Amino acid sequence: RRRGYPEAVLCDAKTVDQVRRVAAECRERAHGPVLFTRADPARAEAVLGELPDALHVPEARMVAWPPRPPEASGGTVVVVGAGTSDLPVALEAELTARYLGRPTELVVDVGVAGLHRILGHLELLRDPAVRAIVVAAGMDGALPSVVAGLVSAPVVAVPTSVGYGASFQGVAALLTMLNSCSPGVAVVNIDNGYGAGHLAAQIAAPGPQPAD
């Protein structure tokens, strides 16, 4: 990739065999890093068969190779998850940001039904070292509006498909986030933790530094 970022392989649109072949190629070309995203157990296993030392994080449905992310540099990326059910997406964002070379922090179970929970993390969220905040939320998707109202850093909102009925597999949360009444929020696709983490890492990238 000409832009110097890790290669990513979206596994769920590929057969197990196609995934295995991509992993084998990685092994042969012996350069990385590469991220296998949305990998169910069968596809993760196919990758590990070819790249046995790869890092498998089942909760994030990811396999990353080589097993260690690059040295961290640039601003910190904070990843916030509204509820436990948003954890897979939050973890996917965090791991992606780390493999793009950023220091990361994870904050979870801080939905707006209990405001004191997110308010308890204000110090971290407002830390000047923090250059990007990813917020993952399902159901009403209200958390990014609240977070963006509290901080100066840009917020990357990820709607999750958590919910039922009129949540429409994440559409309700997506619309909430697109209509945020706080400026400073942009949105990625539903359940797209990878995209959110990638963008956040680009935002927080170190130099060639802008003049201050």
The CB-of-156 to Mg ion minimum distance in angstroms stands at: 11
Rule CB under 8 A: say whether 181 interacts with its own copies. Answer: yes
Choice between 13 and 53, CB closer to its own copies:
13
**CB under 8 A: which stretch of 23-31, 39-47, 49-57, 70-78 binds its own copies?**
70-78
Residue 63 binding its own copies, by CB under 8 A: no
The reply to whether 103 sits near Mg ion by the rule CB under 5 A is: no
Closest approach, Cβ 124 to ligand AMP, in A, equals: 21
Q: Helix, strand, or coil here: 82? A: coil
Residues within the interface to ligand AMP (CB under 6 A): 8-10, 37-38, 83-85, 113, 181, 183, 192, 194-195
Residue 36 · residue 9 · CB < 8 Å = yes
Contact call for residue 184 and its own copies (CB under 8 A) = yes
Phi, psi of 45, deg, nearest 5? -60, -40
- 62 neighbors 95 (Cβ within 8 angstroms): yes
Rounded-to-integer distance, Cα 154 and Cα 137, Å: 16
Binding mask 142-181 for Mg ion (x = CB under 5 A): ------x--x------------------------------
Neighbours of 125 (CB within 10 A): 21
Instruction: Find out whether 129 and 75 touch, Cβ atoms under 8 Å.
Output: yes
Q: Is-contact 76 131, C-beta < 8 A?
A: yes
- x/- map, 117-136, its own copies, by CB under 8 A: --x------x-xxxxx----
26 touches, from its own copies, ligand AMP, Mg ion, none (C-beta below 5 to 8 Å by class): none
**Sites of contact with Mg ion (CB under 5 A):** 148, 151, 184
